[in-house]
């Protein structure tokens, strides 16, 4: 019987297994059962993804959803990262997002094609933020953080992120990360969210904690933020 793409990929991933790293990863991702984690270090997985992306089997693998293992999902994310066409990258991302089930895979997903189409990307971001699905929402916040804090920034973006605060831990954590990062790029525009206490207490405190750990902020800015605790 000929080897299937799924079987071949899985065999390659298990060949790269590091049991000690598997234990480490299991502690970082408590929402995933340990048996779903193989234990492949990211540099090795990136090298494999780079080589595998040049084979006909890569396109087939992207159609094999859902995957069984954490590393298979991470490989999927790394393959989506390499799709050069914007529309194909969006379609592939949409097909994958409903199967993303942990923060690490979510944060790894970063298609390069998105950077070249900010106008076309923004409606997709709004759709992801409105999805109501934890990791789709988290992904949408991450896209805003990656692509819309510089010259494309608008005050409507932090306002939209602030409205997402709720009961979902992994969404709230990304909101804090967003605001902490936004302070490094748009300090005066974002600071009122802390001085006026517009964020829930936990998100407020986590934002300040992350911000004062950043090397991008000045000592004076960090002192101002500490005064907002």
pLDDT value at 176 more than 70: yes
128 with 166: CB under 8 angstroms?
A: no
**Are 18 and 40 spatial neighbours (Cβ–Cβ below 8 Å)?**
yes
Taking the domains of the chain in order of start, what are their residue ranges?
A: 1-116, 117-229
Residue-wise pLDDT for 59-107, tens only, equals 999 999 999 999 999 999 999 999 999 999 999 999 999 999 999 999 9
Q: What is the mean pLDDT of residues 201-211?
A: 97
Q: Determine the pLDDT at residue 118.
A: 87
pLDDT at 139 over 90: yes
What pTM did the predictor assign?
0.95
Who contacts 199 (Cβ-Cβ below 8 Å, separation ≥6)? 162, 165, 175, 179, 193, 207
2: confidence class by pLDDT, cuts 50, 70, 90 = very low
Q: Given the structure tokens 């490094």, which residue do they identify?
A: 184
The per-residue DSSP string of the chain comes to -PPPHHHHHHHHHHHT--HHHHHHHHHH-TTS-GGG-----HHHHHHHHHHHTTSTHHHHHHHS-S-SSHHHHHHHHHHHHT---HHHHHHHHHHHHTT--SHHHHHH---GGGGG-HHHHHHHHHHHHTS--HHHHHHHHHHHHHHSSSTT--THHHHHHHTT-SS-HHHHHHHHHHHHHHHHHSHHHHTHHHHTT-S-HHHHHHHHHHHHT-SSS-HHHHHHHHTT-
Say whether pLDDT at 7 is over 80: yes
- CATH code of the domain occupying 117-229: 1.25.40
Report the pLDDT averaged over residues 17-22: 96
């Amino acid at each position: 019987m000929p080897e299937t793409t799924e079987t071949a990929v899985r065999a390659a991933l298990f060949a790269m297994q590091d049991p000690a790293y598997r234990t480490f990863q299991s502690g970082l991702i408590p929402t995933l059962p340990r048996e779903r984690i193989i234990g492949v270090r990211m540099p090795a997985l990136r090298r494999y993804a780079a080589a595998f992306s040049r084979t006909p089997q890569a396109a087939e693998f992207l159609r094999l959803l859902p995957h069984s293992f954490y590393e298979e999902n991470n490989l999927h994310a790394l393959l989506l990262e390499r799709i050069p066409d914007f529309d194909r990258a969006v379609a592939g991302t949409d097909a994958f997002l409903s199967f993303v089930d942990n923060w690490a895979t979510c944060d790894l997903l970063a298609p390069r094609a998105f950077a070249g189409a900010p106008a076309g990307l923004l409606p997709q971001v709004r759709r992801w933020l409105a999805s109501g699905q934890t990791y789709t929402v988290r992904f949408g916040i991450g896209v805003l953080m990656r692509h819309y804090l510089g010259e494309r920034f608008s005050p409507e973006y932090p306002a939209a992120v602030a409205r997402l605060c709720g009961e979902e831990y992994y969404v709230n954590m990304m909101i804090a990360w967003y605001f902490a990062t936004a302070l490094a790029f748009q300090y005066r525009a974002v600071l009122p969210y802390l001085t006026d206490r517009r964020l829930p207490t936990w998100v407020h405190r986590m934002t300040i904690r992350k911000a004062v750990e950043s090397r991008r902020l000045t000592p004076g800015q960090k002192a101002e933020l500490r005064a907002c605790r």
